[in-house]
Chain A
Amino acid sequence: MTFEIEELEGQVAVARVSGRLDTLTAPDFSAQALAAIDAGHTRLVFDLSQVEYVSSAGLKAFLAAAKHADAQGGAVALCALQEPVERVFRVAGFDAFLDLCTSSDEAARQVEPQD
């Protein structure tokens, strides 16, 4: 699992994640995501184009990140999910509170402050 933050124009940052988000890697991912939010990236887009696998442990990390961002007045969104990964999010009902977008631009618009 790798995790890289890239700041976009405005207040939005993109977290490029790659690899698997499973029992073993999810804690690390979760810690990095929460740290990024704590560092001010409360409007965060997760680019999951390089993530091939997300298990319930990974889902929980996204849940924690979403709650953490929400608590700080921010928001998270996901983009470019691979098909099996997107299915996992939908099956778990996470699409009810996480925007699953096709592109990072679309996701960025979702997390930008609403005028």
Chain B
Amino acid sequence: MIDTIIHTAVNLLKDVGVVVVVAYLVTRTDAYARVLDRRASFRDRLLLTLIFGLFSIWGTVSGSEMLGATANTRDLGPTMGGLAAGPFVGIGAGLIGAVQRLAMGGVTCVPCSLATFFIGAAAGAVYELNRRRFIGVVGAVVFMALAETFHMGLVFLLVHPFSEALEIVKAVYPPMLLSNCAGVAVFALIFANRERERTTAAAKARIDSEIATARAIQRGLLPRTDDLGLGDAAAAALSVAACLEPARDVGGDLYDLFALDDDRLCLVIGDVAGKGVAAGLFMSAADALVHAASMTGRPVDMILEIVNKELWRRNDTLMFVTLFIGVVRLSTGELQYASAGHCPPLVRRRAGGVAMLPSVRGAVLAVDPGLTFAVGTERLAAGDVLLLYTDGVTEATDAAGELFGDERLERSLADIGEGTPDETIARIMDNIGRFVGEAEQFDDIAMVVFRYEGKAGAGRESRPAPAHEGAPAGVRLPARLEETARLAELVEAFAGREDVGLTVAHDLALAAEEAFTNIVRHSLRHSSEPWVDVYLSRKGDEVRVRLEDAGPAFDPRSAPRADVSAGLDDRVPGGLGVHLMKNVCRRIDYERRDGHNVLTLTVAVAAREGEV
């Protein structure tokens, strides 16, 4: 007897394997997906009814014959159909299983058929009572145990004599209880899994969409480098580019650029400890505070003090920020900056040397409310480039664990030549990319490249800004004849950058040299350290060199004319320079402004050589 029971149980358990396959397949049907979405059609229900009904029949025919009764898993189909898909499927599958069982006959055919039908209906009712949701693994197993007990109850009730009913129940109840409960447990596990999977996928889709929105907002908060809110004249005094490459979708690095007024541009770069959405949120708060504090007109160290206090007040999650803020006065090139533990920006001088901005005292923000900061001052000359970056740049790591490092960054910056800020960023990113290779980007990367172009040429001249206020921008050369070499270099580089052709380059260099040597001769006697500021600019089809000096008023246009028609005997070496200047320039403008000579030489950029 015991052997038989064990044998039966083993057989039934083997069938559980089939259960797994059926359950898996059912959960992958579109019909079942629509049931979960509560939008199942009649056809969907009919399909599921048939599947569970056939499964019920399979349960019957695969069962083991014992004492004229069959130990079987017929109730499994209607149970799962009802529990997972509602009364329609439960009752339908129960009916199919019951009709088939009835047709088989035997002493238990009536109670067994009725039991299957009722169990299917009851399972459907449980689904309804559970607000049309599957009741879960434990609930399903308990239901199944109760259902099989009810099944046996019906056998007692409807099979006579009682002794025969008792024998049958004693033989089939244990294996049926075991196998059906095991079957329903497997079924329920797979169903519950499927449901969890769907919930997780839905939740993930929601989070993904929120992160995408956050990323879009963060991107949207970045300033547009092509419209900084400056006037035309001030905007012409700089060119700038920036990039932000979060390691994840949302990053803790941020840069910002905004005009404080028509002459001052604020440059900000920062890095929140950590990555991802939390860091991004904190950084947005920090940036908004920097914005607000900057508008008070306070100096950069005070701005950091205010931001630090406010961030500290709101810092429940113990984050911290490193931040660099610089304010450039575009009319003079003067840079004032402060740093809260941020890596010092690099300056590339026009001539090619690269150095870190001298570091200034200041610790990370949001940790200590009483911090104070120091102010650094630097003078940018025309052509100088400022590189602000976050440590994701220098700490970009290759597959071997080596860091990109300060040295590689400095070399990259030194190598940019006359590249625009956009090209500079592209070049540095390219260098980083090639260094890192296949290694995954570990930290956020942000960079701002700012090139000071010098006081804007034409546009600014109408402004009453006195030339001597602060230190002049442009390139200041000592007023000595030796400096004509440097002047020639400046003009040549400028002409090359502007691609104006050899003839124009020659004429511009000639005009510049003649004007410069004139100034040197006139200012030498009057000052111990005379200087000349040189500005080079292009506007449309004209290139200009503007020379400013603080020597005595001297308008070269009024210098004595050279007699260029004189023969060899009558020639005197004088006035030739001005004569050449007048001939190669389209225009020579001179202005005595605030005690300065401002001489602007304009050379026309004609059609390119060879194209005439």
Contact = CB atoms under 8 A, between A and B. Distances in A.
B484 to A, nearest CB: 5
A84 interface: yes
Contacts of B503: 83-84
Interface of A: 20, 22-24, 52-53, 55-57, 59-60, 63-64, 66-67, 70, 83-84, 88, 91-93, 96-97
A96 B567 contact: yes
Chain B contact residues, majority secondary structure: helix
Given A22-B513, A23-B517, A56-B576, A92 B564 contact: yes
Contacts of A24: 481-482, 484-485
Chain A contact residues, majority secondary structure: helix
Interface in B460-503: 481-482, 484-485, 488, 502-503
Contacts of A83: 503
A102 B576 CA distance: 24
B501 to A, nearest CB: 11
22 contacts: A22-B484, A24-B481, A53-B506, A55-B510, A55-B513, A56-B577, A56-B579, A56-B580, A59-B576, A60-B573, A63-B568, A67-B568, A84-B503, A84-B507, A88-B510, A91-B583, A91-B584, A92-B562, A93-B565, A93-B566, A96-B565, A97-B567
B571 interface: yes
Given A24-B482, A57-B517, A70 B568 contact: yes
Interface of B: 481-482, 484-485, 488, 502-503, 506-507, 509-510, 513-514, 517, 562, 564-568, 571, 573, 576-577, 579-580, 583-584
A97 B571 contact: yes
B134 to A, nearest CB: 89
A23 B568 contact: no
Contacts of B510: 53, 55, 88
A29 B80 CA distance: 107
Nearest to B583: A91
A92 B568 CA distance: 12
B502 A23 contact: no
Contact of A91 (B485, B565, B579): B579
Given A63-B571, A97-B571, A55 B482 contact: no
Given A22-B488, A64-B573, 16 more contacts: A20-B488, A23-B513, A24-B481, A53-B506, A55-B514, A56-B514, A56-B577, A56-B579, A56-B580, A59-B576, A83-B503, A84-B503, A84-B506, A88-B510, A91-B579, A93-B564
A55 B491 CA distance: 15
Nearest to B503: A84
Q: Identify the interface centre among A20, A22, A60, A88: most chain B CB within 10 Å of its CB.
A: A22
A66 B569 CA distance: 10
Contacts of A52: 506
Given A24-B484, A84-B502, A84-B503, A60 B576 contact: yes
Q: Identify the interface centre among B562, B568, B579: most chain A CB within 10 Å of its CB.
A: B568
Given A23-B481, A24-B482, A84-B503, A66 B568 contact: yes
